[in-house]
Amino acid sequence: MFDQPNTLPAAPGVGYKPQHYSDILADAGPVRWLEIHAENYMGDGGRPIAQLRFLADRFPISVHGVGLSIGGETPLDPSHLARLKYLCDWLNPASFSEHLAWSTHDSGFLNDLLPLPYTNATLARVCSHIDQVQETLGRRMLLENPSSYLAFAESTYDEPAFLAEVSKRTGCGLLLDVNNIFVSATNLNYDPRAYVDAFPLDQVGEIHLGGHDEDEDDHGAPLLIDSHGREVADPVWTLLDYVLEKSGPRPTLIEWDTDVPDWATLALEAARAEAALDKVPA
Amino acid sequence: MTQTDFTTAIFDPARPVPAGLTDAAGRPAGKRFSVYRNNVAVSLKEALETGFPATARLLGEANFETLAQRYLRARPPQSPLMMLFGEGFADYIAAIPALKSLGYLPDVARLEYAMRQSYHAGDAAPLDPAKLAALPPEALNRARLSFAPAVRLVLSDWPIHAIRQKALEPDAPNPPGTAQPVLITRPNYDPVPHPLAPEQAVLIAALMDGATLSRALTQAPRADLGAVLSLLLAQSALTDIDVETPK
């Protein structure tokens, strides 16, 4: 649909944290590309922008938005969309992605990825917002599956069918967060492999992996929290193998956003992703 | 259920979980909804603490938590840029009667917000000192200075520089009994706070306002212009100097 001037390699990447800047430049290990949160690079200048310019000369960059509120009932914030366009225009990233979620309401920005009912009304709204984003940026975007803690009684689509329909209608690609599948499948009591089987894997331009915390709901059932604050759990690695067998190698990102570890620890996680990618034929 | 219903329940834990939210068996979501309540409350409080670490330490953990939870509900961020969250925090603090005894706190918060905005401000090539040196003395009087986008001036009647330092580093000197307006410069990528004598602050405020050097000096006759210019040049705080054409 749109020209992609460069693309992410089907190799490990990590979510970039400024404290790893020198380590990455000294020895990136298995890490071949970096992902940034768009909103952290929307200032006018200073160190964040200077570091990003320097890194972008050396690594493919994925811009991952966390504030666009694609699923919001309110119109997309035109000034935020303009900032995003400015960033994508000067940086020319290998990928831009956002979430199937909402975060902005008339009263303000809630700084969390909030859930959506999968209905025809949501579908129409999300598709219209994605059309607007892709037209404004002049590039194809990827939409990420959320982690869910609850269900909506009014939903009429399951999540893979909903995302497949969004992709079909808008031409957007998908970002498959394998930890989110595992978290949602545990929390909502379904089979994560069945989710993968139903997912339009040919549209997947990127995979995410992150750590989760364990809790319990009011009835003592497991309630997993998508915290991005620790190593990727073993069953998530197993589920990644299942995905990659079906999809082939894809750009695969380690997300570690809270209690950020030292570079060696993060690089070990990336090495584990590399081993998983190496197991499947290209 | 609308996103307004959802948002209202997120911000008010006393409200029931909105209808139509369930677990896999169709039972009411209960604690599952609290995950979102918690995510919003914790992430916004942490965002505030990132921007206002000294304010948080001065209040102590429990008081800051209470204040942050009140603030994020009364004034939720209006932008997804967390670097801007807390623009009105200082004024909000100033209006709370229970915090009146910490009279310096709003100005410390103002200083912290200014430091953060300086960090993210645009880059600019500094003024070549030779351009200033080449001006004849009589032209200097008519000159106006252009400041780098990262420069900020925070006026205060309190020793906010030392109070902030002491809050962040307990080994720092005790605050003096005098006012410390603060000039923030960004010679490289890290904002640097400089405590000023009040007279210097008046001079710099006038210069930042676009006054000529002589006009600024009439507002701050006892300020040491040479010292102020040396500081501004050494800190790459100036981008240009323009001489007004004589009338």
Q: What is the pLDDT of residue A228?
A: 96
Question: How far is A44 from B105, CA to CA, in rounded Å?
Answer: 28
Which architecture does CATH list for A12-278? Alpha-Beta Barrel (3.20)
Burial class (CB in 10 A: 0-12, 13-18, 19+), A162: buried
Do residues A119 and A154 touch, judged by C-beta distance below 8 A? yes
| Mutation choice for A interface testing from B45, B49, B81, B115 by most A CBs within 10 A | B81
CA-nearest residue to A190 within chain B is B24
Nearest beta carbon to residue B82 from set A39, A105, A221 = A39
A91 vs chain B: nearest CA distance in angstroms?
16
pLDDT tens for residues A5-38?
479 999 999 999 999 999 999 999 999 999 999 9
For residue B47, give the nearest of A80, A102, A111 by CB distance.
Answer: A111
- Min Cα–Cα distance to chain B from A276, Å: 31
Is a pLDDT exceeding 50 seen at residue B140? yes
Contact check, Cβ <8 Å, A218/B31: yes
A83 close to A127: Cβ distance less than 8 angstroms:
no
User: In chain B, whose CA is at the least distance from the CA of A225?
Assistant: B35
Question: B160 with B111: CB under 8 angstroms?
Answer: yes
| Spatial distance between the Cα atoms of A238 and A242, rounded to a whole number of angstroms | 7
Domains of chain B: 1-102 (no CATH), 123-247 (3.90.930)
Does residue B187 have a pLDDT over 50? yes
pLDDT at B137: 86
At residue B244, the pLDDT reads 73
Compute the count of residue pairs across chains A and B with CB atoms less than 8 Å apart.
140
**Which one of B11, B35, B149 has the shortest CB-CB distance to A149?**
B35
Reported as a single tens digit per residue, the pLDDT across A184-241 is 999 999 999 999 999 999 999 999 999 999 999 999 999 999 999 999 999 999 999 9
Q: What is the pLDDT of residues B193-219, one digit of tens each?
A: 999 999 999 999 999 999 999 999 999
Selected residue of A217, A225, A228, A258 to mutate for chain B interface (largest B Cβ count, 10 A):
A217
Whether pLDDT at B247 is above 60: no
Q: A108-114 and A173-177: which strand pairing?
A: unpaired
pLDDT above 90 as % of chain B: 95
* Residues of B whose CB is below 8 A from A80: 79-80
Distance CA A200, CA A172 (A): 12
Minimal-distance CA residue of chain B relative to A40: B81
Length of chain B: 247
Residue A282: the pLDDT is: 82
Residue A4: per-residue pLDDT: 45
